[in-house]
Structure 1
């Protein structure tokens, strides 16, 4: 089993990465492979609703989003992490997730996200972590992904990685998140081995409020 951890910070080795490292180490101690994927420093824009993904089976903007998708297909779970910018998750991560989630499963391609456990992680110098945490979690709940919790909100504090190292409670929270993710993945694997399939999907109907 494998978990992909996405570092949505412009700083490859900053506070967000330090938090993800703690989760990754715990996952590996639990026998789960873990890989951190950095989205880089280039700005990542959000979805423009061009609908090209419905024809192409991938996002029309061929960048880090399309680079990540095949890695997501091989993953069993995810952790998406971002620093707080103006009391919300970093815009590049939100743009990355916006396009990844919108293009996912289009044009008859495999849905690489549904039913896979996911967790949000936020880092901040001081405040805004809980609102950033909410930003990220909303992506999971629209894609039928079990949301993995910890013993507290999945947040760390520190302006740089060295300061985050001093946040003993935050790192404790990251370790428990890793354990909880490992436990849920093992439960899903055991259920699959026992013949329990993913939930049936209803075709449903979209309803607009304005007609």
Structure 2
């Protein structure tokens, strides 16, 4: 298929690489640009792992980042803006210390916390369609599954807004329920479950401590920038 694409010189299909980074494969990251050149990929999207078991949670690369000030802009936290800088033996230890500090970081005045409480699906006009035609607002709500965050299990229940076998995607998208839910995702007034200190009260996505009902999205790893979708 890649050979056909090169011969045809057509604008489509576009080839990209999606890479799920974890402890066992993170050292492969430097190889991705070379792989992209070899297969003609136009982009590389690196995501973290969504742990569906305690064993998978041991593989994540963001355990400290979940609660780090680095990615949390706040009136009570000092902002620190970094320039373009080499990453080598002279800087690695210092930058590691900066990322572990109590500062909220920016890179060339671009805050690293800008993608907190940001649902890309709602903000950028996406929906997810399952193999059987069920339409969900996002990938996380496309099916029932467990997730482990901060050592706690949370059971995510599938949320469907309709089926394309029964209604057009346009009708489902413009339906009052879907429109209202996208508004809630844009406001994102959910409990901050990914940074919470250890609440065991809400093991499902049916309700949260601020009174939001199903589906609650405060614990969504996508909305806090830990998971990226291709």
Instruction: Report the structure number with the largest CA radius of gyration.
Output: 2
Structure with bigger RCO (C-alpha 8 Å, 6+ apart): 1
Which protein is richer in helix relative to its size? 1
Same fold (TM over 0.5): no
TM-score, structure 2 as length reference:
0.28
TM-score by length of 1: 0.29
